[in-house]
Chains A and B, each alone.
Chain A
Amino acid sequence: GIQVEQSPPDLILQEGANSTLRCNFSDSVNNLQWFHQNPWGQLINLFYIPSGTKQNGRLSATTVATERYSLLYISSSQTTDSGVYFCAVPHYTGANSKLTFGKGITLSVRP
């Protein structure tokens, strides 16, 4: 099946700093999602980004499908950005599909 790797595994930032989170995948994909897992465990949708660039406030994401990677940019980080960030891609086997997740990036933003 498809492999998804995220880097770096851990990231510590001072409030106000910028960061780039990376997601590499081993095969061509039709779409890709970025999630932020909040302290209570819920996966919050950040971006649904098959290709190109999207922006939402201080966050933006770029997927280069031909080179099999996606980047999540966080600018002017805040303590509320802390948590685990996952990227996920769909894996299709015939009519069946599922999401394959990376292991996540744990971000800590210090005041």
Chain B
Amino acid sequence: KAGVTQTPRYLIKTRGQQVTLSCSPISGHRSVSWYQQTPGQGLQFLFEYFSETQRNKGNFPGRFSGRQFSNSRSEMNVSTLELGDSALYLCASSRTDRVTEAFFGQGTRLTVV
């Protein structure tokens, strides 16, 4: 059974650009959550999606957005990138909308220069 797949693994972008990250959950899992990890702030919740609906959003500016498709795959987008957006972005999938056991992908490491 394939795990959670995130693409791309690494990205380097310039300030002001935008970026789209992708996450394919485990087959049969309908909930996808996104987390940002930085050395200073640790692991912080970004969003949660279930059945194509954003169920929950963390305390991040509107430049951070996301969506979920009918096949449960999810994308997150960051517009007008800032240096502080450099981080490891992790995606997790769960079977249901109530977080039970969460499984994480390998992450996308974004560097903004």
Contact = CB atoms under 8 A, between A and B. Distances in A.
A48 interface: yes
B68 to A, nearest CB: 15
B102 A33 contact: yes
For the complex, would chain A's binding face be called helix, strand, loop or mixed by DSSP majority? strand
Given A41-B88, A99-B33, A99-B92, A92 B106 contact: no
B100 interface: yes
A31 B56 contact: no
Contacts, number: 61
Nearest to B104: A43
Given A43-B90, A97-B56, A99-B33, A104 B42 contact: yes
A45 B92 CA distance: 11
B106 to A, nearest CB: 4
Interface in B29-85: 33, 35, 37, 42-43, 45, 48, 55-56, 58
Interface of B: 33, 35, 37, 42-43, 45, 48, 55-56, 58, 88, 90, 92, 97-107, 109
